[in-house]
Amino acid sequence: MGENMKKMKIATLAATAMMLAAVFTGCANKAGTSGNSASGDTITIGGNFELSGAAAAYGSAMQRGVKLAVTKINKDGGVKVGDKKMKLKLVTKDNKSDNASAASIATNLTTQTKASAVIGPITSGAGLAALPNMTKAKVPLITPGGTQDSLTLQKNGKVQPYMFRSCFEDSFQGKALAKYVYNTMKLKNVAILGDKSTDYAQGLIKAFKGEYKGKIVTTEYYQAGDKDFNTLLTKLKSKNYDAIFVPGYYSEAGLIIRQAREMGIDKPIVGADGFADPKLVSIAGKSNASNIYYTTHFDAKAPANNKVADYLKLYKDTYGDDAGTFDALSYDAVYMIKQAIETEKSTNSVKIAEGLAKLKNFQGVTGTITMDKYHNPQKPVIVTKLMDGSEAEATAVK
């Protein structure tokens, strides 16, 4: 009986040891990759989109922009690779606004679909989750909306070789807004009412505070999902400020604008690209959405070049609607890939990444883009002003 027990224990230990021996070698045994290349006359582009879940509004805009660009490029003859023209093929997957799903889709698009480049996810968190699998496969990822500063950086401060963006980063727009408020609007005292629960808002606050030359009167915080801001606004009312800076998304910002105006606060309310959604006005109410300023990547009222008019017409004809910020950023992302392929005369994903890193004076609908050494596009920031719920003016800020 005891002998049997002993044998069983030895067998258990042996089996466990055998399995454990391979545990930490599983990843090391993977063969190295030289990236993906086009097969036949078609270049495959992957779409890792948030088509359902919390970020579905942004993901759907991204899909519209990408589809429009792919259709237009193919209609115009395709992508010139050396001496021949090749068509683009778009394969889209829905990551349901979930980080684990975004990582899984990154593997799918790089190993099964064999995409030469991938556009999306649009959020920084999902982008960070997808990045390790993209890097492993040596396939570039362009995010049209991942604005977190550290997204394109490794822990040691070096650049992530396969992560790019068509949008600018949080610190860039935070600094631009601070300069605009102080230099252009000539406002010397600002109160901050920021979202404590998102990295997006925290990044903006940090950048704004670092650049603003005036006085930060007070900094108050709310949580994403909050509905009643009267207590915070009452606190602000007694303070001496010239404007309120609200770093956050339109869902809460719209309510803050409504409640501030109903309380009699008529000072300018400034924000970042989280305001850049038509729902901001519908939540705030048209009459309340006055004296509102926000930074954005794209505005039809401040066209970056003569391509914008054609793009707006094409978008309207295709979707029967006006183009939004994220549609335009996604549209540019496809053309950035096209430019990289044509510059490098190759459909190999490693070469495309090299081409994207070298991107210089690229004429996009969101501006003239030059990629910096950290894979962030250098282009002007647009500051949009709302009056009575409509865009009154838009200014490009260098």
Partner 1 sequence: MKKNLKYNAIWLAIAVLGWVLINVFEGVGIIDQFAENTLVLIGINIILATGLNLIIGFSGQFSLGHAGFMALGAYAAALVTQAIPTEGGFVLGTVIGMLLAGVVALIIGIPTLRLKGDYLAIATMGAAEIIRIILVNLKITNGPAGLYGLPQLANWSLVYILVVVTTIFTVNFIHSRNGRAILSVREDEIAAESMGINTTKFKVAAFVFGGMTAAIGGALHANYIQTIAPNDFGIMESINILIIVVMGGIGSMTGTFAAAALLGILDMVLQGFGALRMVLYSLALILIMIFRPKGLLGTWEFSVKRLFNRTKKKAKEGA
Q: Which stretch binds partner 1 (CB under 8 A): 108-116, 183-191, 297-305, 353-361?
A: 108-116
- The CA distance from 206 to 199, in Å, is 10
| First-residue to last-residue Cα distance in the chain | 83
Q: Taking CB under 8 A as the rule, does residue 27 contact partner 1? A: yes
Q: Among residues 16 and 305, whose Cβ is nearest to partner 1?
A: 16
State the greatest distance between any 2 C-alpha atoms of the chain, in Å, as a whole number. Answer: 89
Of 37, 42, 60, 218, the one binding partner 1 by CB under 8 A: 60
**One-letter amino acid identity for 353?**
A
Q: Among residues 17 and 398, whose Cβ is nearest to partner 1?
A: 17
Q: How far is CA 105 from the centre of its chain?
A: 17
H/E run at residue 351: helix 349-357
Q: Which stretch binds partner 1 (CB under 8 A): 26-34, 309-317, 320-328, 374-382?
A: 26-34
- The CA distance from 294 to 254, in Å, is 13
- The CA distance from 41 to 46, in Å, is 16
Of 38, 65, 90, 101, the one binding partner 1 by CB under 8 A: 101
Q: Among residues 157 and 320, whose Cβ is nearest to partner 1?
A: 157
H/E run at residue 86: strand 84-94
Of 35, 65, 125, 247, the one binding partner 1 by CB under 8 A: 125
- The CA distance from 196 to 218, in Å, is 14
Q: Taking CB under 8 A as the rule, does residue 366 contact partner 1? A: no
- The CA distance from 239 to 227, in Å, is 22
Of 36, 43, 49, 257, the one binding partner 1 by CB under 8 A: 49
Number of residues near partner 1 (by CB under 8 A): 58
Q: Is the peptide bond before 121 cis (omega within 30 degrees of 0)?
A: yes
Q: Taking CB under 8 A as the rule, does residue 91 contact partner 1? A: yes
Kindly give the pairing relationship between strand 79-81 and strand 42-49. Answer: unpaired
**One-letter amino acid identity for 140?**
P
Interface map 149-178 toward partner 1 (x if CB under 8 A): -x---xx-----------------------
- The CA distance from 380 to 366, in Å, is 9
| Selection from 120, 72, 42, 122 nearest residue 341 by Cα | 42
Q: Among residues 22 and 231, whose Cβ is nearest to partner 1?
A: 22
Q: Among residues 63 and 290, whose Cβ is nearest to partner 1?
A: 63
Of 37, 42, 71, 107, the one binding partner 1 by CB under 8 A: 107
Q: Among residues 66 and 281, whose Cβ is nearest to partner 1?
A: 66
386 touches 289 (CB < 8 A): yes
DSSP 3-state of 113: coil
Q: Taking CB under 8 A as the rule, does residue 294 contact partner 1? A: no
Stretch 189-228 residues interacting with partner 1 (CB under 8 A) = 196-199, 202-203, 223
Q: Which residues bind partner 1 (CB under 8 A)?
A: 1, 4-5, 8, 11-12, 15-16, 18-20, 22-24, 26-27, 30, 49, 51-53, 56, 60, 63, 91-96, 99-101, 103-105, 107-108, 111-112, 124-125, 128-129, 131-133, 148, 150, 154-155, 196-199, 202-203, 223
